[in-house]
Chains A and B, each alone.
Chain A
């Protein structure tokens, strides 16, 4: 069974960290980023073979170099998310750690037991309800949905328990969760795999749940989709715009052996408990390209990675081949615009895009090296900026201040 080993594999992944594993589903408001005198951006990167993980900081994304040479913090913490200048991570004891860092050291704010939920990388995800409230979700053993709500200021859990989405039939497990809030309605889109084959049942489910009671659960299915982005829910695969929740179906070679379904966006209209049967935006030719990631760029737009599927010859292609382009996708007008920058490594599920107002920043490993590309949504011009030196891979990129 896939999931039996998945947890260990993913723990190993933290050491090797060839590809990404963490992100947040809902960044700070991309339209109106808070302005502070001194900016601070952070990068969770790996260096070396075998790799080690470092947190790097830089004040500017448009110029200069951020290097791991004698710089940055070596860490074995598994960063789950970051907000308001703080990181939230699990450590090898399985505890939850709130911390800050600079280029030299980590300062732990609080470490608490993380035993209100069965946290496992293949089956867990989280959503920021607001700046103070971080909700963790998990599917224990692929069967039972659970949640735990954390007040990040006091670092105490204010609620936890099961979410009574019916458990899958014997011989199946739930997989591929993607979730977002619209007001106090929580939507979780997911699929189900067979234990014996790890193959998807080739349909997707949507659970609509009332927050904070975590009840009034409605589950509907939609056979048009089979793998709600994404693999571990550590790269955004859903967002809401004007009260409508948008999701990406992303049956990549990286994540599933079932690829006969579209790379398409679907939506749940405000107040509805089911996927809109009339909306279907297929982003690309499913036989030639893959689409992954749905980074909210505001105004109904999102940044999506489009990968040349014809170049993929196994999992390693995602971390070694320069086969990825970035597009601005308008989910309302159903159009897409290519960002003019060199092709880069896909990095599969990495949190490598941030949006600040008109500016999109993309951390891209190209044949010339690792750089931050700055793209203007209005002028549609891309420029190369900060260089990341001594970096093999990046799994998170975010603004701390």
Chain B
């Protein structure tokens, strides 16, 4: 098989390179402070151009060194911490660890420290948003809200806490964007572990890769990928918080770590519990065709109504036990994650359809094994491997004996369910196994190789309790297995001013579906077990050129895929038929950008801007048939867009940022499916998609206002989304075209910290002007809400 050949070639290449690398001298080590490994520490050889900075593991290495005498200078936050004279023999490897000193833990230092990784992301060739969570740790923000404030990202939520959402990145969305938690694909995690649940306190930063995705995140990500990175380096800390607010909403989060220096034993604990009644007022809004219709006797009355079946709870607990800093492993750990969800379903595809009893309960369990080692077998080779197995059970009960509307309980209904035409209690079971191995090899200070392999197995089965549904295609699992291999070569030129990453990705999948329906040549519908395997190759490049130390340009390109899923290829055996000719969605993605950082005394200015282009085809749409429907490659879109962000800081007093994104997504489907007839909406703007949006954030804070080691902080943020059409802009009369109205939402928060951030209290208001907001047509979001949050943090 092709991917075996790729692995063999890579191993052969590595072997040759090891032999080459062994003859050079090198220095490596780990930099820590009194508590944790420190990232962004500068390590340079004085009077040479040789130098580097520690990575997030506090690790540095200087490779490809000539024998001789050197002075090694270690500095952090602009201050020299250590200088060391040393002599290097030919072929020798020196291991030098350092401990740096820091000035306490005030918030400013933490923020600056966090920015080092963000700067590294910004200065990579990829188009990437690095979002630091540290400034938001005292707020009740979840990861979706944080992501929604960054350029190119639009999260469209259907309602309040725990509601379904659609994540779009530079105009591509849904399954076209993949999500990772510390590099592990999240799509099988179940909804309790979604971005709309994970509290900000559990993440250190979020990386949003747009259109072009590094091979380390092994997935078929057509439009980009989001990687949530948790804190890995602090040796001991505890972060506990609880909040309470409008709609009986509460959020509790706990994150902690204990590391025993002597034995290397490390224990991580993460947990959260979110609850909300989500009983916000649904406001009658006929102007935007979003009336609230209440049945009163034989009349339909338009008036406001309160949500009554929208409660949501999600609970997660994770324990991770492992060993660190062993000769054979930097980290080896075993973790267990359990999550549990209860969700009441209030509405159907829009707020007109009201449910009163349907609910969903989910339980998710995942053991996972992690292993990481730098200088694995040879100097410069880092291996990072994870393996996990997960099981997600979902129970959907649709057994109401009544129909519901905004007026509450309606007429009795003895036969039908609320969602299905027959009352049902479905039990779905999703099993997933994921194995990932990443090999990063630094050939010398200017060249590195990365090989990533991801295996992803997914099986879905279902049972039904009431016995009314006898034709259940999921009684035996449908499965899909994916192998994704990525290989990347990173090369620096012109004294590291020009950096290039060339990569290729190999995708292989094997899908198996029970009793798939297909059309036979003898003019009849037949059912049989169906299996299909396919391979695809993607490729790309990311490049960055530093014009000055603070000003650079970058460009990246990828030919990307979103593979077909089992049910898209083979249907469900009930009413969706096979389409073995279905192709994967594919896209050519291009980004061109600039960045600038400028610092004068305490003033810091950061500017980023980029242009993006996507040429996507073979969108997989559900096409309705008679007895059997199917999936078909129907849509094509060309997207041109631009985004920019300006951020200004003054010392630790003031921060102001503003960003905007514009995208022009054009329907590129020239002909109607299967005919030579021109599609009337060819070259029209793709409907039902925000195309102009922006954010502004302002924060001002001062230390030691009411006593030593305190900080008072005020944050305000605003989000704007321009109105957009629900359907095609060229079709239909202007009077009848439905619009999703513009929204301008303001949020404010005030927080007060004592004892250098050990005790924190915050008061917040979301949507403080009580704007009537819709992300989706006829799906109203919550109005104004308030919350108070208490947080305890020690490190």
Contact (Cβ within 8 A) A115 B680: no
The reply to whether the CB of A378 lies closer than 8 angstroms to some CB of chain B is no
Contact (Cβ within 8 A) B627 A105: no
Contact (Cβ within 8 A) A48 B680: yes
Closest to A115 in B: B411
Contact (Cβ within 8 A) B674 A316: yes
Contact (Cβ within 8 A) B672 A49: yes
| Interchain CB contact (< 8 A) of A9 among B424, B525, B629, B680 | B629
| Interchain CB contact (< 8 A) of A52 among B348, B635, B673, B731 | B731
| Interchain CB contact (< 8 A) of B524 among A70, A259, A315 | A259
Of the listed stretches B45-53, B144-152, B559-567, B618-626, chain A binds B618-626
Contact (Cβ within 8 A) A255 B627: yes
Contact (Cβ within 8 A) A48 B734: no
Contacts of B415 in A (CB 8 A): 118, 140-141, 143-144
Of the listed stretches A78-86, A90-98, A205-213, chain B binds A90-98
The reply to whether the CB of B21 lies closer than 8 angstroms to some CB of chain A is no
Contacts of A75 in B (CB 8 A): 736
Contact (Cβ within 8 A) B680 A113: no
Of the listed stretches B265-273, B465-473, B530-538, B708-716, chain A binds B465-473
Contact (Cβ within 8 A) B471 A2: yes
Contacts of A18 in B (CB 8 A): 623-625
Contact (Cβ within 8 A) A74 B679: no
Of the listed stretches B163-171, B293-301, B497-505, chain A binds B293-301
Contact indicator per residue, chain B 455-470, by CB within 8 Å of chain A (1) or not (0): 0000000000000111
Of the listed stretches B349-357, B440-448, B657-665, chain A binds B349-357
Given contacts A1-B468, A70-B733, A112-B298, contact A12 B622 (CB under 8 A): yes
Interface of B, helix, strand, loop or mixed by DSSP: loop
Q: Which of A239-272 contact B (CB under 8 A)?
A: 252-257, 259
Of the listed stretches A36-44, A58-66, A191-199, A330-338, chain B binds A191-199
Contacts of B687 in A (CB 8 A): 48, 52
Nearest CB of B to A344, in Å: 11
The reply to whether the CB of A163 lies closer than 8 angstroms to some CB of chain B is no
The reply to whether the CB of A223 lies closer than 8 angstroms to some CB of chain B is no
Contact (Cβ within 8 A) A106 B350: no
The reply to whether the CB of B601 lies closer than 8 angstroms to some CB of chain A is no
The reply to whether the CB of A277 lies closer than 8 angstroms to some CB of chain B is no
Given contacts A4-B424, A49-B669, A369-B677, contact A255 B626 (CB under 8 A): yes
Nearest CB of B to A69, in Å: 6
Nearest CB of B to A55, in Å: 9
| Interchain CB contact (< 8 A) of A49 among B421, B673, B732 | B673
Contact (Cβ within 8 A) B575 A5: yes
Closest to A321 in B: B674
Kindly state the separation between the CA atoms of A157 and B295 in the bound complex, as whole angstroms. 15
Contacts of A8 in B (CB 8 A): 419-420
Of the listed stretches A182-190, A296-304, A388-396, chain B binds A388-396
Nearest CB of B to A108, in Å: 10
Contact indicator per residue, chain A 296-330, by CB within 8 Å of chain B (1) or not (0): 00000000000001001111101111100000000
Interface of A, helix, strand, loop or mixed by DSSP: loop
Closest to B403 in A: A115
Contact (Cβ within 8 A) A120 B416: yes
Contacts of A152 in B (CB 8 A): none
Contacts of B726 in A (CB 8 A): 52, 74
The reply to whether the CB of A142 lies closer than 8 angstroms to some CB of chain B is yes
Kindly state the separation between the CA atoms of A275 and B727 in the bound complex, as whole angstroms. 48
| Interchain CB contact (< 8 A) of B420 among A7, A47, A157 | A7
| Interchain CB contact (< 8 A) of A71 among B628, B669, B672, B733 | B733
Contact (Cβ within 8 A) A93 B352: yes
The reply to whether the CB of B68 lies closer than 8 angstroms to some CB of chain A is no
The reply to whether the CB of A54 lies closer than 8 angstroms to some CB of chain B is yes
Given contacts A3-B421, A49-B673, A196-B471, contact A315 B732 (CB under 8 A): no
The reply to whether the CB of A284 lies closer than 8 angstroms to some CB of chain B is no
Given contacts A93-B353, A195-B470, contact A49 B298 (CB under 8 A): no
Contact (Cβ within 8 A) A5 B574: yes
| Interchain CB contact (< 8 A) of A70 among B420, B675, B730 | B730
The reply to whether the CB of A381 lies closer than 8 angstroms to some CB of chain B is no
In this complex, the interface size class of chain A, counting residues with CB under 8 Å from chain B, is 35 or more
Closest to A141 in B: B415
Contact indicator per residue, chain B 726-763, by CB within 8 Å of chain A (1) or not (0): 11101111111110000000000000000000000000
The reply to whether the CB of A133 lies closer than 8 angstroms to some CB of chain B is no
Given contacts A71-B732, A259-B523, contact A197 B680 (CB under 8 A): no
Contacts of B293 in A (CB 8 A): 93, 95, 111
The reply to whether the CB of B89 lies closer than 8 angstroms to some CB of chain A is no
Contact (Cβ within 8 A) B632 A316: yes
Kindly state the separation between the CA atoms of A15 and B411 in the bound complex, as whole angstroms. 28
Given contacts A48-B728, A315-B630, contact A257 B625 (CB under 8 A): no
Nearest CB of A to B234, in Å: 48
Given contacts A2-B575, A12-B622, A254-B627, contact A54 B732 (CB under 8 A): yes
A-B contact count (CB 8 A): 248
| Interchain CB contact (< 8 A) of B679 among A49, A54, A71 | A49
Kindly state the separation between the CA atoms of A2 and B738 in the bound complex, as whole angstroms. 33
Nearest CB of A to B588, in Å: 20
Kindly state the separation between the CA atoms of A303 and B621 in the bound complex, as whole angstroms. 34
Contacts of B424 in A (CB 8 A): 4
| Interchain CB contact (< 8 A) of B735 among A104, A120, A255 | A104
Contacts of A74 in B (CB 8 A): 726-727, 731-733, 736-738
Contacts of A157 in B (CB 8 A): 298
Contacts of A390 in B (CB 8 A): 680-681, 730-731
Contacts of B621 in A (CB 8 A): 16, 49-50
Kindly state the separation between the CA atoms of A115 and B410 in the bound complex, as whole angstroms. 8
Contacts of A367 in B (CB 8 A): 675-677
Contacts of A123 in B (CB 8 A): 421
Given contacts A92-B352, A171-B470, A254-B626, contact A69 B411 (CB under 8 A): no
Contact (Cβ within 8 A) B420 A9: no
Kindly state the separation between the CA atoms of A48 and B679 in the bound complex, as whole angstroms. 6
Contact (Cβ within 8 A) A315 B577: yes
Closest to A94 in B: B353
Contact (Cβ within 8 A) B626 A93: no
Contacts of B623 in A (CB 8 A): 16, 18, 315-316
The reply to whether the CB of A216 lies closer than 8 angstroms to some CB of chain B is no
Contact (Cβ within 8 A) A156 B421: no
Given contacts A197-B471, A367-B676, contact A70 B732 (CB under 8 A): yes
Kindly state the separation between the CA atoms of A257 and B520 in the bound complex, as whole angstroms. 11
Contacts of A373 in B (CB 8 A): none
Nearest CB of A to B353, in Å: 6
The reply to whether the CB of B634 lies closer than 8 angstroms to some CB of chain A is yes
Contact (Cβ within 8 A) A315 B629: yes
The reply to whether the CB of B207 lies closer than 8 angstroms to some CB of chain A is no
Nearest CB of A to B582, in Å: 12
The reply to whether the CB of B543 lies closer than 8 angstroms to some CB of chain A is no
Can you list 12 residue pairs at the A/B interface with Cβ under 8 Å?
A: A2-B627, A4-B468, A7-B421, A49-B621, A69-B731, A72-B732, A74-B727, A92-B778, A142-B421, A198-B471, A259-B524, A316-B632
- Other A-B contacts than A72-B733, A74-B726, 14 sampled, CB-CB below 8 A, are A2-B574, A3-B422, A6-B575, A8-B419, A48-B679, A48-B687, A91-B352, A92-B348, A111-B293, A141-B421, A315-B627, A320-B673, A321-B674, A349-B626
Q: 10 shortest A-B CB distances, which residue pairs?
A: A315-B625, A320-B674, A390-B680, A254-B626, A52-B727, A141-B415, A48-B681, A74-B732, A93-B352, A92-B352
Instruction: Give residues in A with beta carbon < 8 Å to B.
Output: 1-13, 16, 18-19, 47-50, 52, 54, 68-76, 91-95, 103-106, 111-113, 115, 118, 120, 122-123, 140-144, 156-157, 171, 195-198, 231, 252-257, 259, 287, 309, 312-316, 318-322, 345, 348-349, 365, 367, 369, 389-392
Instruction: Give residues in B with beta carbon < 8 Å to A.
Output: 293, 295, 298-300, 348-350, 352-354, 403, 405, 410-411, 413-416, 419-422, 424, 468-471, 519, 523-525, 574-575, 577, 579, 621-630, 632, 634-635, 667, 669, 672-677, 679-681, 684, 687, 726-728, 730-738, 778
